[in-house]
Amino acid sequence: MSTEMITTRWWWVRHAPVTEDGGCIYGQADLDCNCTDPHIFQALARFLPQEAVWVTSNLKRTHQTAAAILRHRTASADPAIIVPEFAEQHLGEWQGLDRAGFFGARIPRPDSYWFGPAHERPPGGESFVDLHARVADAIARINEEQSGRDVIAVAHGGTIRAALTTALGTPPQTALAFAVANCSVTRIDHVRIGGESGWRVAIVNHLPTVPPPQ
């Protein structure tokens, strides 16, 4: 049996901050993000691998973030592959609600950064469990298509937590305890040796930095 190790490295980047939400929950609302601070994107450009496959969700804030990073890189890249399954959780009728008022009216969970328990499905939307199912299917497909490559996936907080759920093999609720900041990097590696495969978690919620100009 072959003992060759094939590693597909996933570099998950959460999109830049959304500032036009008016303090409301946005979920899958297709809002712009703020890419005006060049130091953030310079740092990401230096930290991420030069030779990589780029993927984004279908929401424009991930396209804008990817473009802002690519402006500071020396190596060219093929156009990003748009993966609709990597969109943020659809929060249904919660989208557009005042964020502070929403959380103020709910019982907080000590083990979660998220809007509700993993199994809760907002009216007209999907649960985090639903989100995880579609993200996991897309990850499996891309692992086959891009085996052994670096994959830079510019996505969303929920999507990245769903990827961590897949990597850790834990119940979806567990991943809601992870902080995932805007423009942070989370790297998980899919490793195949012979007929076996598994995941290794290398980095979670890392914020690369570069010194500001003097």
Q: Hey, which bits of the chain come out as E strands?
A: 5-14, 53-56, 81-82, 150-155, 185-193, 196-206
Cβ atoms of residues 129 and 157 within 8 Å: no
What's the pLDDT at 14? 98
Helix (H) or strand (E) holding 158: helix 157-168
Q: What is the distance between the terminal CA atoms of the chain, rounded to a whole angstrom?
A: 56
Cβ atoms of residues 88 and 157 within 8 Å: yes
Tokens 């450009």 belong to which residue?
A: 45
Q: Count the residues in the chain.
A: 214
Of 16, 18, 11, nearest to 68 by C-alpha is: 16
Phi-psi group of 142: left, alpha or beta (phi > 0 → left; psi -120 to 50 → alpha; rest → beta): alpha
Report, as ranges of residue numbers, the positions in the chain whose pLDDT lies below 50: 214
Give this prediction's pTM.
0.95
What pLDDT, in 10s, does the model give residues 57-115?
999 999 999 999 999 988 778 899 999 999 999 999 999 999 999 999 998 889 999 99
